[in-house]
Chains A and B, each alone.
Chain A
Amino acid sequence: MPILHTVNKSAYERNTLESCVSKALKGSAVLLLEDGVYSAVKGGAKAGIIESAMGDVSFYILGPDVKARGLDEGKLINGVKVVDYNGFVELTVSNDKVASWL
């Protein structure tokens, strides 16, 4: 029963991503959107949350939110897949349910 988890808050401001990832089972997906995209910057102090979970969980990031915030895609952790709005819809369909973390 794979779940798509969505996180829309910066890991540098709240522990939402950390809490979400700690409860995400193997085979589930995490989509970073809105202020959640900041958590995927390579070399950041919170990058380890994603890097250490990447073996079990697939990480996605919403491209339009990355672009809006001035983050170059080259600055993102390798292996985090950039998706557009259509990709977001596909993720909601390919997973059994969506858990939106606030």
Chain B
Amino acid sequence: MSSIKKFCYLNRKAPYGTVYAWEALEVVLIGAAFDQDCSVVFTDDGVYQLLKGQDTADLGIKNFSPTYSALGDYDIRKIYVEKESLEERGLSVDDLQHLVWEDEDEDYAEKDSIMVVTKDELAQVLDEQDVVLSF
């Protein structure tokens, strides 16, 4: 019997202002190391976590945004970003980092990890999960 469960990490907080985003990222990486079926969702202010060009040098704190590009190496292929949350904030997918995973069945071709979905589609994604962890 398979012990693989579907884990969903639900991100609703902006980075840096609170520690939620960084903590979530660490938990995602731990979950992935246990070979679980991981989906990572970014909705509400969570979409700000994926903005490209973050530079925290003047704040003297760690810029953890490059770590999102490592998710593909942990075989995380499903990153859902809510369309309505982006639009409400005056953003589009072009403002986000380009995240990919490598498909070993197709000569390690890079494929997009980020899927922009509507809130109704997101409801379906959540419905399919065994576990939802909220940050």
Instruction: List residues of A whose CB falls within 8 A of some B CB.
Output: 8-10, 12-13, 34-35, 38, 41-45, 47, 63-65, 67-72, 75
* Contacting pair B17 A45 (CB below 8 A): no
| Nearest-Cβ distance from residue B42 to partner chain A, whole angstroms | 13
* Contacting pair B48 A68 (CB below 8 A): no
Per DSSP, are chain B's interface residues mostly helix, strand or loop, or mixed?
loop
* Contacting pair B56 A68 (CB below 8 A): yes
On chain B, the number of residues with a Cβ less than 8 Å from chain A's Cβ atoms is: 26
Write the chain A residue with the least CB distance to B63: A68
* Contacting pair B88 A35 (CB below 8 A): no
Instruction: List residues of B whose CB falls within 8 A of some A CB.
Output: 13-18, 44-45, 48, 51-59, 61, 63, 65, 88-91, 95
Per DSSP, are chain A's interface residues mostly helix, strand or loop, or mixed?
loop
* Contacting pair A47 B90 (CB below 8 A): yes
Residues of chain B within 8 A of A10, CB atoms compared: 14, 17, 45, 48
Of the candidates B15, B44, B88, B90, the one whose C-beta lies within 8 Å of that of A69 is B15
